């Protein structure tokens, strides 16, 4: 009887150790696209300065590591060379965290409260840091994900070249 009790205690102890390790491994492999400790204002200011020098705009993706759609959008960009290359060629990209740990309230206030549209939400700034557009990402979805065509149409409509008067003859 004592032997069975000792075996049961040993089993319970080992199970607890294994579960603790699994939890630790799961946390270590969790998605970390957004950095809650990042200085979002400094990141945006640096992107604006680079955009200004390169005749680009700034593409800000606001979201969090908790947001399935934020991760899905990021993965779509990474896995779609057309989108990734277009973003790189025409925008300076910044990921701004929104989470319980850091809501970046002052930065989001300065960007016109884009979170009112849900997450992810995209903000376009020009090379001077002027807010040009806030995009509700739901309008870029199709089926069970983001539409590459809709995303490309959106991105093409907000480049620095697209909004120059000489490129728009009405």
DSSP secondary structure of 50-85: HHHHTT-EEEEEEE-TT-HHHHHHHHHHHH-HHHHH
For the chain, domain boundaries: 1-30, 40-164
Q: Does position 96 have pLDDT exceeding 60, yes or no?
A: yes
Percent of the chain scored above 70 by pLDDT?
82
Q: At what angle do helices 68-79 and 81-90 cross, to 10 degrees?
A: 90
Query: Tokens 């990042």 appear where?
Result: 38
- Read off the pLDDT of residues 2-43 as tens digits, 9 standing for 90 and up: 665 555 555 565 555 545 444 444 444 488 999 999 999 999
Sheet holding 91-97, edge to edge: 91-97, 57-63, 121-125, 131-136
Q: Evaluate whether the domain defined by 40-164 bears CATH number 3.50.50.60.
A: no
Residue in 122, 150, 156 with CA at minimum distance from that of residue 137: 122
Range with the poorest average pLDDT among 21-25, 65-69, 130-134: 21-25
């Amino acid at each position: 009887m004592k032997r069975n009790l000792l075996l049961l205690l040993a089993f319970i102890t080992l199970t607890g150790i294994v579960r603790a390790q699994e939890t630790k491994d799961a946390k270590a492999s969790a998605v970390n696209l957004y950095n809650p400790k990042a200085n979002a204002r400094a990141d945006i200011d640096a992107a604006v300065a680079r955009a200004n020098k390169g005749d680009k705009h700034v593409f800000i993706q606001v979201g969090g590591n908790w947001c399935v759609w934020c991760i899905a959008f990021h993965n779509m960009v990474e896995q779609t060379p057309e989108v990734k290359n277009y973003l790189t060629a025409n925008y300076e990209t910044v990921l701004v965290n929104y989470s319980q740990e850091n809501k970046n309230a002052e930065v989001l206030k300065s960007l016109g409260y884009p979170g009112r549209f849900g997450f992810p939400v995209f903000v376009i700034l020009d090379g001077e840091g002027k807010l040009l557009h806030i995009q509700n990402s739901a309008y870029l979805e199709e089926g069970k994900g983001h539409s590459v065509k809709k995303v490309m149409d959106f991105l093409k409509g907000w480049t620095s070249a697209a909004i120059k008067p000489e490129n728009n003859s009405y």
